Structure 1
């Protein structure tokens, strides 16, 4: 039996509980299936689903019924917020930019509910250029500033540019030097956090480097979780893996008895690491 993250289930439930009455009606269920799968259910499919899920025969689905149904019958990689996100992420790069959102809204506007549209509109209002946020880049910078000097050296920049995947492409000295020239605008020989943020936003395609990109590389199964065995395999194959990264994952595995780390837990670990640096 699958065990979905309860926070993700609550968010998914509330997103499709359009009238916010604490239940998902049959019309709301049809809309949910249409958006996620791209195919509408027949009345027979809907009736079979209701018979399976609506255990109190009230005619709609409560949060408790929804949770039981998801955990008993739906794999963790299916029909969740990740699938909903992927509906908008047309390029599959792990980001929804404004152009993608507007295209999906135009093509599938009748299938989307207003809550979904409002969530994305709010994000784009906060980030007009649809670029990686300062917070994301600050955490990424801290992760690779191994000596905690407040700047990235040439060696630290090389480690950032090199994929954690041991089978991924290697970065040459020439490439590192080219990136350093672009980023080091004050010619100090290393990169400050402000130089780093300006460089990434101005020169690097969105999704190429970031916490999500690092997580996806280590998540070799692509199921949205990094299991302990999965991480050990990557660590054993890549002996030069960032030690801060190793420490963050190992700490999370000690805290989580199931030995699975989600992307959110990984970001939480990077945040904890950054906050501890500031206390020193």
Structure 2
């Protein structure tokens, strides 16, 4: 008589592998083990056992095992950040302060040891593309929640810039032992200020009559760039879409947080630059 080593120690009917609640259950069961075993195969097996899910079913739900659980953990952090942004009163804040607040909310949504282990995982060459995509998605989630409606080159540059700010701040936070992570938030403010200085430089170059002959062609090329279509493939970088609310009545789609924290591209200290100032 042989024993199935992949079978769950908890017999009974198994849930649908396509059910998102199952992945959430596995993630909750995995988190206590991540600090000790990282996002590893051992963590995945223990999560299946603790959740009462057969390992075969767990593999159907998460084909890459703990890697998919790490992805789910990152996306859960994005969702928590969006929820906190929608609840926050950002009235009166400069636009740069709103961006800094969103980045802080996102960092505070994660457990430092779980994030540390995830950073190690996604630094591996075979998972680097996934990790880069997750950071891009976080930047996209922030801009979308802040009401960004840019459809030109600014759509890409803002997300690329914020991805760099977010990624560097997370790395600083992982090594920060200051009280209440005060050094991290100071670091974040400095990075945001660097971005603001760059945006101001771009504005001066754009408005300089002597430089217009040199910037005309690049400006024309930039005006031809468009944000990705809504129907692009799921494996391409793009906008964050909130979960569909089955109780919501049909009507015009709403952008998360738009009513509270409106803004558009390109970024300026006090908010979006008027459309007339953007390249066309």
Structures share fold, TM-score greater than 0.5: no
Relative contact order, CA 8 A, sep 6+: which one is greater? 2
Q: TM-score, normalised by structure 2?
A: 0.28
